[in-house]
Structures are given as structure tokens and as C-alpha cells.
């Protein structure tokens, strides 16, 4: 009997209008140096696995976790000298981004996004049925904010949420603190400042939370803390806004293993300090090495990655050849505004960084 085909597309939402959402490319080749997603593979594997073992012995998977990860909120609040009601934990920084959009936007309203930046802001706004008011940074190498232009082209009430990412992904720069403060002070809505990479930067604006009630700072434990696979992110801000964000969360949104591992990793002060210093000094070394390659212009970074522009070659052929011939996986940023022919690599261990450098030089030579 012939099955009757039903048109399912008419039964579901299509926020991306047939263009697809966030679909990372499928990698078929064997990856030996994984430096495309800014994970922290410099975090000593034996340390994180030992902590994981201790967590596994302690937790009971039959029991629901704490409602809102209260014990972790307290530890984080103490770290930043905040009240624990000023902290909300989510299933990764991406969940926090999604919550910020749900908090502020309904169909017909926009998130303000300053490209090039982290693509999940646009994704989250569209999933929510909202749109994007897009601005551009100034061109390379500054990638700076034109604050006056942005502020004078905002539509109050329609542009309800401003995403700022500092240090910024993928450009790597950290914006001038005064410019960020001006945007936060004058934007007529909520500002979500993404500080996922601030551990590797020059400053954090957590100290400014008291000055700006409309400011929410978003953080992730995927980078310095080496927990990308465990999915922990958090937001810091005004108690009223944080309580509204909590209302949007599904019950028990973070699993007990991630919660307990986060609490354990956050106490590893010596490991974290050594890692921060190690990554920063490796970043500076690799930057100088990249500068020595005639075909490459690296951009100054305050993160755990470096974006660089390549001339005389196509970024995708460099990326593909690196992967095919050496197993080194980096990210092609060419499709992103202002990042034509740019690639992005993550700083990890000295050994991995060297493997990348050698592989890159060899690839340029054989192409
Ligand atoms: C700027 C920025 N924000 C947020 C995230 C999300 O981090 P996660 O969802 O892994 O916590 C990332 C991940 O790469 C990022 O680069």
C-alpha cells in the first residue's frame, strides 16, 4: 500500500526561512590537533579526569539536582563579591544567550548585534521570532566600536537587547572600557555583555554591575575551566533581572555531574592561574611567530585564540589542506563580515601550538 505523504513543513515554525540554523560542518578526516572551537585542551587531562572521578563517586544520578544550582551560585557570588541572587546558572553560555533573548524580545522586536561577533546571538534572536538590528565594527586591524553611530541609529522599544562581546569572538580584541560603559549607559534597553574570554583579557566589567542596572554579564566555563563538554554558563546582574531569567528556566536545567564538577574545578586556583598565564604567554609567542610568515597577518588577541588573515591563498584551501595532510583542525571565518580570508586557531598546549605552526608553514610551502 502506498503511504500518503504529509507536508510537515506547514506544521512547524521556520525561523530561518529555509536557510538552516546553526549546523557545524561534519568533519570526516581524522583530527589530531583540535583547535577550531576554542576549547581548552591545555587543561591537564589527568587533573580534570581525577576531579570527574571524585564527582562520579559522590553523586546519585537517581536524584534530581538542586533547583537552580544554588551551591554553585554561592561560590560564584563569593568569587565576584556579589549576592548569590545576582547569579543564574544555565546549560552552557549558549543557554544564557537564549535566555537573554527570551527575557527581552518578542516577534517584531530586535536584538542589536555588532558583527563580526559570536553567531549564536543572531541564532537565538531568530529562534525567538525576533530580528536583528545589525551594525559593523570598524575594519581590520582595529575592529572597533563606533559608539556614536550605533547609539544614534537605535530604535528605542524595538531594539530591546544589545549584545556586546568583549573580548570579541572571532576578532579577539577587547573593546575600550569607556566605549563599553557609554553604550551600556545610553542604550535604552538591556545590555548582555559576553565575557566568555575575559579571563585572558585586560579587564572585566563585573565591577561595574552596580553602576548599570540594565547590564547582564554572561560567562562560560567552557574556556579557561576546561568544561566545554559539561555545558555550564552563567549570568551576573541585577537581582530583579536574574529572578526574571530564573523564571524562564526549565526545572533542573543543569545536570548533577556538571554542577559538581564546576564546583570542584572552580576551586583549582593554582591550576587555573598557571593555565591563564600559560595560555597568554603562548598566545603572544604564536602571534609573533605568525607575524614572521609573509603571507599571514595575525590580529592582536585578548582571548585563547588568534584570528589571522592569509594572502595569496584561499582560506578554505589552507584549512582543508591542514586538516587532510596533518590532522590540524582550525576554523575558517571567511564567510563572516569583515573577516574575508581569515582563519582562527585556538591556543592550547605548547606542543599543540608548535604542531600547528609547523603544519601551517608546510601547507603554505606545498600549496
Ligand atoms: C563569545 C562566546 N560566547 C559564548 C559561547 C558559548 O559557550 P558555551 O555554550 O560553551 O558555554 C562561546 C563559545 O565558543 C563564545 O565564543
| pLDDT tens digits for range 215-267 | 999 999 999 999 999 999 999 999 999 999 999 999 999 999 999 999 999 99
The vertex-121 CA angle with 225 and 107, nearest 5°, equals: 140
Cβ of 118 closer than 6 Å to ligand 1, yes or no, is yes
Candidate from 97, 118, 235, 345 with most ligand 1 atoms within 8 A of CB, to mutate: 118
Beta bridge partners of 89: 234
The answer to whether the beta carbons of residues 88 and 235 sit under 8 Å apart is yes
Please report, for the chain, the start and end positions of each structural domain, with discontinuous segments joined by +. Answer: 25-40+270-366, 46-265
- pLDDT value at 132 more than 90: yes
CB burial readout 249-259, b (16+ within 10 A) else e: beeebbbbbbb
3-state secondary structure of 206: helix
Q: 174-214 pLDDT, tens per residue?
A: 999 999 999 999 999 999 999 999 999 999 999 999 999 99
pLDDT digits (tens, 9 = 90+) for 268-295: 999 999 999 999 999 999 999 999 999 9
Topology annotation, domain 46-265? 3.40.640
Would the CA dihedral through 111, 142, 363, 354 be positive or negative?
negative
Mutate to test the pocket of ligand 1, among 94, 116, 303 (most ligand atoms within 8 A of CB): 94
The residue with cell 581590520 is 140
Q: What DSSP state is assigned to residue 342?
A: E
Four-CA torsion 108, 112, 118, 122, nearest 10 degrees: 10
> Is residue 196 within 6 Å of ligand 1 at its C-beta?
yes
Cα(362) to centroid(ligand 1), Å = 31
The answer to whether residue 297 scores a pLDDT higher than 80 is yes
Residues contacting 181, CB < 8 A, separation 6+: 205, 208, 211, 212
**CA distances for 205 relative to 172, 195, 211, 236, 266, angstroms:** 17, 8, 10, 11, 20
CATH 3.90.1150.10 fits 25-40+270-366, yes or no: yes
Distance CA 298, CA 290 (A): 6
**Ligand 1 geometric centre to CA of 124 (Å):** 13
Which residue CA neighbors atom 8 of ligand 1 most closely? 93
Q: Closest ligand 1 atom, CA of 94?
A: 9
User: Which residue's CA is the nearest one to ligand 1's atom 7?
Assistant: 93
Question: Which of ligand 1's atoms lies nearest the C-alpha of 228?
Answer: 10
Distance CA 252, CA 134 (A): 34
Task: Please choose, from the candidates 328, 363, 359, the residue with its C-alpha nearest in 3D space to the C-alpha of residue 346.
Answer: 328
Q: Span 334-347, mean pLDDT?
A: 96
**Mind listing the pLDDT tens digit for each residue in 16-26?**
887 776 666 78
Give the mutation target among 169, 200, 217, 224 for probing the ligand 1 site: most ligand atoms within 8 A of CB: 169
In contact, 41 and 34? CB cutoff 8 Å: yes
Q: Report DSSP state, residue 86.
A: G
Contact 248, 99 (CB under 8 A): yes
Please state, in angstroms and rounded to a whole number, the distance separating the CA atoms of residues 241 and 100: 10
Amino acid at each position: 500500500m502506498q503511504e500518503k505523504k504529509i507536508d510537515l513543513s506547514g506544521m512547524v515554525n521556520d525561523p530561518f526561512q529555509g536557510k538552516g540554523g546553526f549546523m557545524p560542518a561534519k568533519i570526516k578526516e581524522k583530527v589530531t590537533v583540535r583547535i577550531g572551537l576554542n576549547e581548552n585542551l591545555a587543561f591537564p587531562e589527568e587533573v580534570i579526569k581525577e576531579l570527574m572521578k571524585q564527582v562520579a563517586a559522590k553523586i546519585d544520578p537517581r536524584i534530581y539536582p538542586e533547583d537552580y544550582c544554588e551551591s554553585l551560585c554561592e561560590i560564584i557570588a563569593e568569587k565576584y563579591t556579589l549576592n548569590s541572587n545576582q547569579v543564574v546558572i544555565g546549560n552552557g553560555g549558549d543557554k544564557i544567550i537564549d535566555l537573554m533573548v527570551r527575557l527581552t524580545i518578542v516577534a517584531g522586536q530586535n536584538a542589536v548585534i555588532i558583527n563580526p561577533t559570536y553567531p549564536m546571538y543572531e541564532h537565538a534572536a531568530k529562534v525567538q521570532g525576533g530580528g536583528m538590528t545589525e551594525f559593523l565594527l570598524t575594519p581590520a586591524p582595529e575592529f572597533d566600536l563606533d559608539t556614536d553611530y550605533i547609539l544614534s541609529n537605535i530604535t528605542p522599544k524595538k531594539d530591546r537587547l544589545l549584545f556586546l562581546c568583549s573580548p570579541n569572538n572571532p576578532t579577539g580584541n577587547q573593546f575600550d572600557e569607556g566605549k563599553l560603559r557609554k553604550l551600556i549607559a545610553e542604550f535604552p534597553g538591556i545590555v548582555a555583555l559576553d565575557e566568555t574570554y575575559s579571563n585572558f583579557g585586560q579587564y572585566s566589567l563585573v565591577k561595574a554591575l552596580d553602576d548599570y542596572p540594565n547590564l547582564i554579564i554572561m560567562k562560560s566555563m567552557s574556556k579557561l575551566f576546561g568544561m566545554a563538554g559539561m555545558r555550564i554558563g552563567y549570568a551576573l546582574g541585577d537581582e530583579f533581572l536574574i529572578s526574571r531569567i530564573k523564571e524562564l528556566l526549565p526545572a533542573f536545567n543543569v545536570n548533577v555531574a556538571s554542577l559538581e564538577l564546576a564546583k570542584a574545578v572552580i576551586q583549582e586556583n593554582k591550576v587555573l592561574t598557571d593555565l591563564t598565564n600559560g595560555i597568554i604567554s603562548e598566545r603572544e609567542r604564536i602571534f609573533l611567530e605568525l607575524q614572521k610568515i609573509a603571507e599571514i597577518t595575525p590580529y592582536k588577541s585578548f582571548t585563547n585564540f588568534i584570528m589571522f588573515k592569509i594572502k595569496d591563498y584561499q582560506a578554505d584551501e589552507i584549512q582543508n589542506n591542514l586538516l587532510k595532510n596533518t590532522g590540524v583542525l582550525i576554523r575558517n571565518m571567511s564567510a563572516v563580515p569583515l573577516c574575508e580570508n581569515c582563519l582562527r586557531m585556538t591556543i592550547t598546549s605548547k606542543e599543540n601550538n608548535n604542531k600547528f605552526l609547523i603544519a601551517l608553514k608546510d601547507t603554505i610551502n606545498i600549496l
